[in-house]
Structure 1
Amino acid sequence: MNSKTEQLKELSQLNDELENYFRNTIIPQLFVDEDLLLRKFTPPAMKHFVLKEEFIGMPIADIQDNFKYPNIINNIHSVIATGKMLEKEIQTTDLRWYQMNILPYITFREGKTNGVIITFVDITARIRDLKEHEKLILEHELLLDQLAHDIKSPLAGLMLTCEYFKVLPEKKSTKFLKMLANLECGLSNIKRVLSDFTESHWGKQKYQSATELVDLPHILDDVMLALAPQILESNAKIVHRFEITEINFVRRKLRSVLYNLLSNAIKYTPVDRKPEIAIYTFEEDGFMVISVTDNGIGMCNEDLLTVFEKFKRICASVEGTGVGLYLVNTIVKNAGGKITITSTPGVGSEFKVYLKLDSTQ
Structure 2
Amino acid sequence: MSALSMLLTPLQHSAYIQKLVTERTGHLRLELQRIETFLKAWSHDIGMPIHGMQAAIALLKNVQDSNDLINVLDILNTSCLMLNDIHSNIGDFLNGHTDTVRTENIVLATWLPPVVRMYRPLATAKGIRIDLNMNLDPAFTFNGDKLKLTRVISNLLGNAIKFTPDTKDRAITVRAYSKTNLLYFEVQDEGIGIPEDKLVTIFQPYVQLNTNEPGLGIGLSNCQSIIEQLQGTISVVSKVTEGSMFTITLPL
User: Which band: TM-score by shorter chain?
Assistant: 0.5 to 0.7
Q: What letter matches 2:124 in structure 1?
A: L
Bigger-Rg structure (1/2):
1
Contact 1:91–1:97 (Cα < 8 Å) also in 2: no
| Equivalent in the alignment of 1:230 | 122
Q: What letter matches 2:142 in structure 1?
A: I
CA-to-aligned-CA distance 1:41-75 (integer Å, 9 cap, x gap)? xxxxxxxxxxxxxxxxxxxxxxxxxxxxxxxxxxx
Q: Which has the higher contact order (CA 8 A, sep 6+)?
A: 2
1: CA distance, partners of 2:65 / 2:201: 40
| Equivalent in the alignment of 1:340 | 235
| Equivalent in the alignment of 1:219 | 111
Contact 1:141–1:327 (Cα < 8 Å) also in 2: no
- Higher mean C-alpha deviation, range 125-134 or range 298-307: 125-134
Change (3 A) 1:234 1:133: farther
| Equivalent in the alignment of 1:23 | none
1: CA distance, partners of 2:208 / 2:84: 20
1:125 Cα shift?
6.2
1:345 Cα shift?
0.7
1:302 partner SS: helix
| Equivalent in the alignment of 1:259 | 154
Contact 1:91–1:98 (Cα < 8 Å) also in 2: no
CA-to-aligned-CA distance 1:146-185 (integer Å, 9 cap, x gap)? x9xxxxxxxxxxxxxxxxxxxxxxxxxxxxxxxxxxxxxx
Contact 2:127–2:168 (Cα < 8 Å) also in 1: no
| Equivalent in the alignment of 1:95 | 61
2: CA distance, partners of 1:139 / 1:253: 13
1:353 partner SS: strand
1:128 Cα shift?
4.5
2:235 partner SS: strand
CA-to-aligned-CA distance 1:210-236 (integer Å, 9 cap, x gap)? 322212232222213322430221232
Q: Which runs of no fewer than 5 residues in structure 2 stay unpaired? A: 1-54
2: CA distance, partners of 1:140 / 1:93: 29
| Equivalent in the alignment of 1:318 | 213
1:336 Cα shift?
0.8
After the TM superposition, which residues 1-361 of structure 1 pair with which residues of structure 2 at under 5 Å, given as runs? 95=61, 100-101=66-67, 121=69, 124=72, 127-128=75-76, 130-131=78-79, 134=82, 197-198=97-98, 201=99, 206-207=100-101, 210-244=102-136, 245-272=140-167, 274-357=169-252
Contact 2:231–2:251 (Cα < 8 Å) also in 1: yes
Change (3 A) 1:268 1:259: same
2: CA distance, partners of 1:140 / 1:213: 19
Q: How does the TM-score come out when normalised to structure 1?
A: 0.46
Q: What letter matches 2:197 in structure 1?
A: E
Q: Which runs of no fewer than 5 residues in structure 1 stay unpaired? A: 1-88, 102-119, 148-192
Change (3 A) 1:336 1:343: same
2: CA distance, partners of 1:310 / 1:97: 40
Q: How does the TM-score come out when normalised to structure 2?
A: 0.63
Change (3 A) 1:297 1:250: same
1: CA distance, partners of 2:168 / 2:71: 29
1:227 partner SS: helix
Q: What letter matches 2:158 in structure 1?
A: S
Aligned length: 195
| Equivalent in the alignment of 1:181 | none
Q: Percent identity?
A: 24
2:125 partner SS: helix
